[in-house]
């Protein structure tokens, strides 16, 4: 009977002296709507302690202090912040502070920490230290903390990953080119993806988690890729990619010019050649027409001259001159 009573008392006491740690508040400052952002947000946990068992004066042992420990990913628990308790009379730490409640042995403790990305998914645990024992809270996890500066880009061209810092890819001219553009680990964050075809001056945009662009490349294509996270220009980045066919690449080896200049030059050469060909065709055609006309006239003249004597002032004169003007070396 006595043993049962002691056991009951013990169970009751451990239930009464306790430290509870609540989940952080979902309060976001930035437009990254449902994610904490590195250095921009504060993460606020609240904790509650019950220091002594009420109706049992013999058990009112003083709390020495309250400590919160933090365990980063792949690490062990280390002291994070303290509240030197003393009845919650003074605030001891900027990160953790104590607030009294209506109940003399119940106190609230606020843990207010800047969201550094290295706290991402860390674990937090409270300890209430008595002279002779320690009461622990349950473990609570930090949220995932997003650092916009460390946004990772995935860019695949024809299923091959591409280095976005110096993006130059060679593909087969006849192949379809499939571009896959997306961001890594940004599940809760609003973002947009854009591809700009520099030569065609066309934009492609996606609000979904990836962007796929399928195209065929005859010589060269230049794309600018851009992403914006949390609708903030501050967090947007862009990079440019050159996609060439092997053919174009050989041309580039001959000319040691910058790619854009070489492209412009080859364009100029092609259009000049085309113009020349058109001009020559035009000249040849009009030349042939004139030849045909002269041939007809010659036949006519032969026919008439057999009948009439040709006058020097005859209308034929002009045509004869034309005939004389035609350069013979072209025939
Ligand atoms: C959030 O977005 C809205 C509209 O897009 C903008 O007016 C506001 O300034 C943004 N807030 C922050 C903190 O960037
Ligand atoms: C948390 O800390 C920040 C920065 O020191 C402060 O602006 C904010 O008011 C604090 N919030 C609470 C609930 O303590
Ligand atoms: C990102 O990094 C740059 C320099 O590397 C820094 O100036 C900028 O403040 C950082 N932005 C954020 C949001 O941390
Ligand atoms: C182009 O196609 C040929 C044969 O179809 C193949 O051997 C070659 O690896 C391809 N080149 C590239 C860059 O895909
Ligand atoms: C691309 O980024 C550079 C800085 O890295 C910036 O000056 C430029 O305006 C950006 N271009 C676009 C189209 O956003």
**Res. 207 pLDDT band, cuts 50 70 90:** confident
Quick check: CB of 203 below 6 Å from ligand 5?
no
Quick check: CB of 238 below 6 Å from ligand 5?
yes
**Average pLDDT for residues 263-288, to the nearest whole number?**
53
Quick check: CB of 149 below 6 Å from ligand 3?
yes
* Closest ligand 3 atom to 40 CA: 13
Q: What is the number of other CB atoms lying within 10 angstroms of the CB of residue 257? A: 13
Ligand 4 pocket, Cβ-based, cut-off 6 angstroms: 170-172
Which residue's CA is the closest to the ligand 4 atom numbered 6?
172
Quick check: CB of 194 below 6 Å from ligand 5?
no
Q: Nearest to residue 121, comparing CAs of 139, 93, 141, 101?
A: 141
**Res. 315 pLDDT band, cuts 50 70 90:** very low
**Which backbone phi and psi does 184 adopt, to 5 degrees?**
-85, 145
The pLDDT value given to residue 64? 75
**Which backbone phi and psi does 122 adopt, to 5 degrees?**
-70, 170
Task: Indicate whether 52 pLDDT > 80.
Answer: no
The pLDDT value given to residue 252? 44
The pLDDT value given to residue 15? 54
* Closest ligand 2 atom to 94 CA: 5
- 228 alpha carbon, closest ligand: 5
Quick check: CB of 148 below 6 Å from ligand 3?
yes
Contact indicator for 227, 237 with CB cutoff of 8 Å: yes
How is 106-153 classified by DSSP, letter by letter? EEEEEEEEE--GGGTT-EEEEEEEESS-EEE---EE---EE-GGGPPE
**Average pLDDT for residues 290-310, to the nearest whole number?**
53
* Strand ranges inside the chain, DSSP E: 18-21, 36-37, 42-50, 63-71, 78-84, 96-100, 106-114, 123-130, 134-136, 140-141, 145-146, 153-157, 160-161, 167-171, 176-183, 191-197, 202-206, 210-216, 220-229, 236-245
The pLDDT value given to residue 198? 93
d(CA 120, CA 47): 20
Distance 224 CA to ligand 5 centre (A): 10
Return the percent helix, strand and coil in the chain, to nearest 5: 30, 35, 35
The pLDDT value given to residue 100? 87
Q: Nearest to residue 67, comparing CAs of 128, 23, 119?
A: 128
**Res. 33 pLDDT band, cuts 50 70 90:** confident
73-88 confidence digits (pLDDT tens)? 889 999 999 888 776 7
């Amino acid at each position: 009977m006595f043993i049962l009573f002691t056991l009951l008392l013990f169970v009751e006491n451990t239930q009464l002296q306790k430290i509870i740690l609540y989940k952080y508040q979902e309060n976001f400052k930035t437009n990254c709507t449902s994610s904490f952002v590195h250095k921009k947000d504060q993460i606020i946990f609240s904790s509650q302690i019950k220091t002594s068992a009420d109706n049992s004066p013999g058990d009112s042992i003083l709390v020495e202090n309250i400590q919160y420990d933090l365990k980063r990913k792949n690490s062990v628990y280390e002291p994070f912040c303290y509240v030197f308790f003393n009845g919650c009379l003074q605030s001891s730490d900027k990160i953790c502070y104590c607030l009294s409640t209506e109940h003399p042995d119940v106190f609230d403790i606020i843990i207010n920490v800047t969201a550094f990305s290295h706290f991402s998914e860390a674990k937090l645990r409270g300890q209430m230290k008595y002279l002779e024992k320690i009461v622990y809270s349950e473990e609570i996890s930090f949220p995932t903390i997003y650092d916009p500066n460390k946004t990772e880009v995935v860019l695949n061209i024809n299923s091959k990953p591409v280095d976005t810092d110096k993006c130059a890819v060679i593909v087969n001219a006849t192949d379809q080119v499939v571009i896959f553009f997306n961001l890594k680990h940004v599940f809760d964050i609003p973002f947009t993806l854009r591809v700009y075809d520099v030569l065609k001056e066309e934009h492609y945009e996606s609000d979904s988690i990836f962007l796929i662009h399928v195209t065929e490349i005859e010589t060269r294509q230049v794309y600018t890729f851009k992403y914006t996270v949390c609708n903030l220009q501050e967090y947007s980045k862009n990079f440019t990619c050159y996609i060439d066919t092997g053919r174009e690449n050989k041309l580039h080896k001959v000319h040691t010019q910058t790619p854009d200049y070489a492209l412009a030059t080859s364009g100029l050469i092609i259009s000049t050649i085309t113009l020349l060909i058109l001009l020559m065709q035009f000249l040849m055609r009009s030349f042939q027409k004139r030849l045909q006309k002269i041939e007809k006239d010659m036949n006519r003249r032969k026919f008439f001259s057999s009948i009439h004597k040709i006058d020097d002032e005859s209308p034929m004169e002009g045509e004869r001159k034309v005939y004389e003007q035609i350069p013979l070396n072209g025939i």
